[in-house]
Amino acid sequence: MPNTTYTISQLAEEFGVTTRTIRFYEEKGLVHPRREGQKRLYSPADRVRIKLILRGKRIGMSLEESVEVIDMYDPEHNNREQLQSLVCTVEDKRARLLQQKKDIEDMLAGLDEVQALCEQNLAEQGLVEKSLAEKSRAEKSVAERVRKQS
């Protein structure tokens, strides 16, 4: 097992955040690195937690929410009630994630349209002669389609 621990600045660099950020996550109880003297030493498990937190952050989750998700992987749920309520929260999360996924796909489709129009427009500019009216019509079509969304 190579390199079983990490320093704070190693992780900071790997994930493209500041050390302050990682210490902040500890303040909030998101990670609990060991200490060697007073220096922090992060385990691979700590590293994964940070990674998952940042993943959550990328899709707009609060730290609290990310922790909630991460903790679902831990077996702190013993009895029937806890398991069933866990299933419920799982389903809630899933619903929200599916909505987000749809939002992203819609937005991607919009980007495709914009880009297509840009490239078409650029191509037309390549040909020196063209009617300005035609250009204007092409430019406005996307905006109109957007306006027609219910």
Partner DNA sequence: GTTCAAGTTGACGTTAACGTAAACGTATTT
Partner DNA sequence: AAATACGTTTACGTTAACGTCAACTTGAAC
What Rg value do the Cα atoms of the chain yield, rounded? Answer: 24
Name which of 39 and 138 has its Cβ closer to a copy of itself. 138
Position among 23, 77, 93, 135 found at the interface with DNA (CB under 7 A) = 23
Distance between CA 132 and CA 77 in Å, rounded? Answer: 67
Q: How far is CA 28 from CA 22, 67, 74, in A?
A: 10, 10, 18
Is residue 74 involved in binding a copy of itself (CB under 8 A)?
A: yes
What are the two backbone dihedrals, phi and then psi, of residue 113, each rounded to the nearest 5 degrees?
Answer: -60, -45
Distance between CA 47 and CA 33 in Å, rounded? Answer: 10
Position among 39, 55, 94, 140 found at the interface with DNA (CB under 7 A) = 39
Is residue 10 involved in binding DNA (CB under 7 A)?
A: yes
120 touches, from DNA, a copy of itself, none (C-beta below 5 to 8 Å by class): none
Residues found near DNA in the complex (CB under 7 A): 7-10, 17-21, 23-24, 28, 37-40, 57, 62-64
